[in-house]
Amino acid sequence: MSARPPYPRDLVGYGPRPPDPRWPDGARVAVSLVLNYEEGGERSVLHGDGESESVLTDLGGGDPVPGARDLNVESLFEYGSRVGFWEIMALLRRSQVAATVYAVGMALERNPEAAAEIARSGFEAACHGQRWVNYQHVPEEIEREHIARNVEVVTRLIGRRPVGWYTGRPSPNTRRLVVAAGGFHYDSDAYNDDLPYWVDVGGIAHLVIPHSFDTNDSRLQRGGDFSTGQQFFEYCRDAFDWLYRMGQAGRPRMMTISLHGRIIGRPGRIGALERLLPARALAVLKQAIELERDTQRLDAALAARLPPGPLTPAGYARAYAASAPRAARLAQLEAILDIGAALDRIVHHASLALVVRLARGPAHAAGLGALQDFLERGFAAFRATGGATEFLAVIRLRESQLLERLYAGEPEPFRGIEP
């Protein structure tokens, strides 16, 4: 009786002992933005296929048209390459956020200007198949040819070799063929973890960086479970917040956000992506404020400018002016986050915290804790709304109450002040 072959699936993974990936700069969560460039590589009789495309369109889950073009589907895909791609690329550039581009070879060949934009961006390039089709039943020799062609097209048009692979609808042969082709750092045809992991492919150690269907704008297509960009924003925000908490607890993870020009690039949806980028970056801002608040050099500069005796409006103004170096550094984050006046008010409060600590001494440590608690609630409100109006109103009220009490010389100016 012959032995049964080993079960090919891994249902265990890292289990209760996930490794520390040691993300750069001690980050608590690594976020990967992926822009799928597919438009022009989908099924079409123009491309030699026997039917039209029917997947991932705003027409919902209709059937493909056999033996003929579906002009509505074609037009919806064209929006992605004509408009949506450019909107997303411009937004990423303004936000100074990098991304990985999953590039379908045939799609790039039909839009060299888009390929040139990807080249200029410096974004990481990965292959997304020569065609945007289901490779489940594609013969192995044809899939092998498509892999080689996809690599050649990306390298020629973008000017650098693709480092990753993601088919999306792979065949049982895909990973083996990708590894055999060589030159790839990873593939992402998996959805089974929040951390990268290694697999053995024919005796070769191969890295898998899982992709995501849940933090994916594909859920916004007609018939999907998200009907508005706000729902997509809230879901991604909640995923990030949970993973960030896990990182704080010593279990850092990663998060992939997948984008399509013909979906999130629409006017009614792209605002969700714009709101999402600063929501992710607020954790960096908060950390910077915490670090800057404890900078001894700025403490000394503030202390040198504090007048003796009770803190007066003039004394506060002179001390706050000494915080300009910190404000200048945080202004660099303002340019990245584009939250303008909200950030200015946060900087103002961080400065106020330093002034209070230096002017009043250790007795006001509890007051600093109260201010930090207020800022954290403010960050939560900012993430929830995606806008600064409500946050600013609360901060202005809190600030006026604090200043009045400080000017009056009250011993516990923070007590009883609630936003």
Distance of CA 308 to the CA centre of its chain: 48
Q: Strand pairing partners for 207? A: 198
Phi and psi at residue 161, in whole multiples of 5°?
Answer: -70, 140
Whether residue 244 sits in one domain with residue 204: yes
Whether residue 124 sits in one domain with residue 62: yes
Task: Assign 381 a pLDDT band (cuts: 50, 70, 90).
Answer: low
Query: Please, what's the b/e burial string for 123-142 (b: 16 or more CB within 10 A of its CB; e: otherwise)?
Result: bbbbbbbbbbbebeebeeee
Whether residue 170 sits in one domain with residue 72: yes
**Would you say residue 208 has pLDDT above 90?**
yes
Whether residue 205 sits in one domain with residue 129: yes
Which is nearest to 136 in space by CA: 170, 167, 177? 170
- Which tokens sit at 22? 């040691």
**Would you say residue 276 has pLDDT above 80?**
yes
278, 305, 334: which is the final residue of a domain? Answer: 278
Whether residue 215 sits in one domain with residue 313: no
What's the start-to-end Cα distance of the chain, in Å? 75
Whether residue 298 is contained in a domain is answered as: yes
pLDDT of residue 275: 82
Whether residue 314 sits in one domain with residue 273: no
CATH number at residue 259: 3.20.20.370
**Would you say residue 337 has pLDDT above 70?**
no
Q: What torsion, rounded to 10 degrees, do the Cα atoms 163, 166, 171, 173 define?
A: 20
Q: Are 275 and 233 in contact (CB under 8 A)?
A: yes
Which is nearest to 351 in space by CA: 270, 292, 276? 292
- C-alpha radius of gyration, the chain, whole number: 26
**Would you say residue 351 has pLDDT above 70?**
no
Higher pLDDT, 321 or 37: 37
Higher pLDDT, 389 or 114: 114
Q: Are 316 and 356 in contact (CB under 8 A)?
A: no
Rounded mean pLDDT of the chain? 78
- The span from the CA of 136 to the CA of 46, in Å, is 22
Q: What torsion, rounded to 10 degrees, do the Cα atoms 277, 281, 285, 288 define?
A: -150
- The span from the CA of 264 to the CA of 160, in Å, is 27
User: For a pLDDT cut of 70, what percent of the chain falls above it?
Assistant: 66
Domain with 231 in it? 24-278
Phi and psi at residue 207, in whole multiples of 5°?
Answer: -90, 135
Whether residue 216 sits in one domain with residue 322: no
Q: Are 190 and 9 in contact (CB under 8 A)?
A: no
Contacts of residue 299, defined as CB under 8 A and 6 or more positions apart, other chains included, come to 354, 358
The strand pair at 197-201 and 186-187 is best described as unpaired
pLDDT of residue 401: 60
- The span from the CA of 206 to the CA of 165, in Å, is 12
> Which of 123-132, 213-222, 287-296 is the most confident on average?
123-132
278, 305, 332: which is the final residue of a domain? Answer: 278
pLDDT of residue 62: 80
Whether residue 325 sits in one domain with residue 259: no
Whether residue 417 is contained in a domain is answered as: no
- The span from the CA of 277 to the CA of 338, in Å, is 10
Whether residue 77 sits in one domain with residue 48: yes
Whether residue 198 sits in one domain with residue 315: no
- What is the three-class DSSP state of 380? helix
Instruction: Beginning with the edge strand found earlier in the chain, give each strand of the sheet holding 100-103 in spatial order.
Output: 197-201, 204-208, 186-187, 164-165, 124-127, 100-103, 29-37, 253-260
Contacts of residue 7, defined as CB under 8 A and 6 or more positions apart, other chains included, come to none
